[in-house]
Structure 1
Amino acid sequence: MSELGIDWKVLITQTISFSIVFFILWRFAYKPIFVMLQLRRERIAQGLANAEKIKNDLARTEAERQKILADAGDQANRLIDEARQAAARVREQETQKAVATAEQIVAKAREAAAQERVQMLGELKREVGRLVVQTTTTVTGKILTPEDQRRLAEETERQLAA
C-alpha cells in the first residue's frame, strides 16, 4: 500500500486518534446534546398538547359563556314579559276599581239627588199648601179652621201629584 502512499502506522494512529476523539465527543458532547434535544422535543410536544387542551377548554368555556348569556337573555325577556303582564293585570284591576268607585259615586249622587228631589217636592208641597191656605184666607177674608187648612192642603197635594 505504500504504492498508493498509505503508511500503515500513520493510518492506524490516525484511526485510533479518530476513534478516541469520536468516543470522547460522542460521550461528552453529542449524547448530552441529543438527550437535551429529545427532552426539548418532549417539552415542545407537551406544550403543544397543553396549548391544544387550553384551546379546547377556551372553546368550551366560550360556548358555555354564550349559552349562559343566551339563557340570561331568555330569562330577562321572560321576566320583562311577566312584568308587562303583571303591569297589565294591575292596570286592569286598578281600572276596574276606578270604574267601580266611579259607579258607586254616581249611584250615591243619584241617590242623594233623588232624596233631595223628594225632600224639595215635600217642601214645595208644604209651601204650596201654606200659600193656598194663605191665599184662600186673604181672598175669602175668613179665618180657616185647622180642619179647613188640612183639607185644602190635602186637596192641593192630590192635584200636584196628578
Structure 2
Amino acid sequence: MTTTFLAASDIAEQFGLELPKLIAQVIIFLVVFYVLKTKAFGPILAMLEQRRQRIADGESKLEKIAKDLAEAEKNAQAIVDKANADANRLIKEAGDSAKSLAEKRQQEAIQEATQILAKAREVAQLEHEQLMAQLKSQFGRMVSEATSRVTGKVLNTDDQARINQETTAQVSL
C-alpha cells in the first residue's frame, strides 16, 4: 500500500500536482457550479419552460379556433340548407295553390313563388355574408389574442387592426 502511495506521490510530483491547490480548485469549481445552477441556469430553464407552455397554449387555442371555424361553417351550411328547404317548400305550396286557381291566378302564383324564392335566396345570402363577416371578425380577434399571447407583446389598436385585416384577407370561406 505504501509503495502504491509513494508511486502516486511521485507521479503527482512529476506532473506538478499539489494537493492543497487541487482541493482549492475543486471547492472553487463546486461554488461556481452552485452559483451558476441557482442564479443562471435555474431562471433560464424556468423562462424556457414558460415559453414552451405559452407556445403549447397558443397551439391549442389555434386548434380550438380551427374547430370553431369548422363548426361555424357547418352552421352556415345548415342555415343555407334550411333556407333552401323553406324556399322549396314555398315553391311547392305555391305550385299546389296555383293548380287550383284559374289560368290567370296560376300565372300570378308562379310569379309570386319566383319572387319569394329570390327573396329567400337574398335573405340566405345576406345571412351567410353576415355570418362570414362575423366569423372573420372573431377569427381576426382570436388571431390577435393568440399573437399577443405567443409573442408576449401587448398589441396596440393599429397592430390589432392590421392583423385583423390581414387575417380577413387571407381567410377565404
TM-score, with structure 1 as normaliser:
0.50
Select the structure of larger CA radius of gyration: 1
Q: For CA contacts below 8 A with separation 6 or more, give which structure has more relative contact order.
A: 2
